[in-house]
Amino acid sequence: EERATVDTVLISHWHHDHTGGIADVLSTAPDAAIYKYDPEPGHKGIVDGQKFHVDGINLTAVHTPGHTKDHMVFVLAEEDAMFTADNVLGQGTAVFEDMSEYLRSLHQMRQLFSGRAYPGHGPLVEDGPGKITEYIEHRQQRVDQVLQTMRGSNDGIDAGGTRWSAMDLVKIIYSDVPDALHPAACNGVLQILEKLASDGIVIKHDRDLWQ
């Protein structure tokens, strides 16, 4: 009805739910240019800070690794808004590959706009920076829970010498969550432990034990 044409497609990251429709787009618009950070053969690359202009709309691409290494968000100048892709969702929290990178990206994203966030999943968020602040605070809360558990300050017992597996920590921190969801939570706890190890706060031992 709109007689719209597609000449540019911006891909936020490599996950199939964000790339799986490329073939269908190209079947309808075979001359469309596909842009992505670290692109596939035949596609065009995106660099941090690259600008795109379409019918009076101005987008700036920003490399924000965390959810994935190649993750990009796009700042919409006309609305002072951001397409946050999968680093920030419309509901719930996001998964990530590297927590240190993810937190750096969240802090960076929060400074780049003051309006809405258009996420890759879920409803739009009216206060985008506010939602990002919630994400940062939530992650810090989880870090604090891991450290508190490892130090034993919940019950007054000094557990500083105990060696923990990620699942040991999950069973305490996520005790109110069904066991079936513990493996998914374990990945997030592992990311926290890796960050704490890189910060010199915890030590990683053999057999994936942490102290």
Residues carrying an active site annotation = 17
Residue by residue, DSSP assigns 156-199 as: T---TT--B-HHHHHHHHTTTS-GGGHHHHHHHHHHHHHHHHHT
Token representation of residue 68: 């994935």
CB 54 within 8 A of CB 76: no
Token representation of residue 136: 């940062």
**CA 53 from chain center: how many Å?**
26
Using the Cα atoms of residue 108, residue 86, residue 69 and residue 147 in order, give the sign of their dihedral: positive
Closest CA to 80 of 113, 111, 33: 113
Where would I find the H helices in the chain? 16-19, 22-28, 99-110, 128-151, 166-173, 182-198
**CA 170 from chain center: how many Å?**
21
CB 129 within 8 A of CB 75: no
Q: What separation in angstroms does the CA of 83 have from each of 134, 179, 205?
A: 17, 34, 40
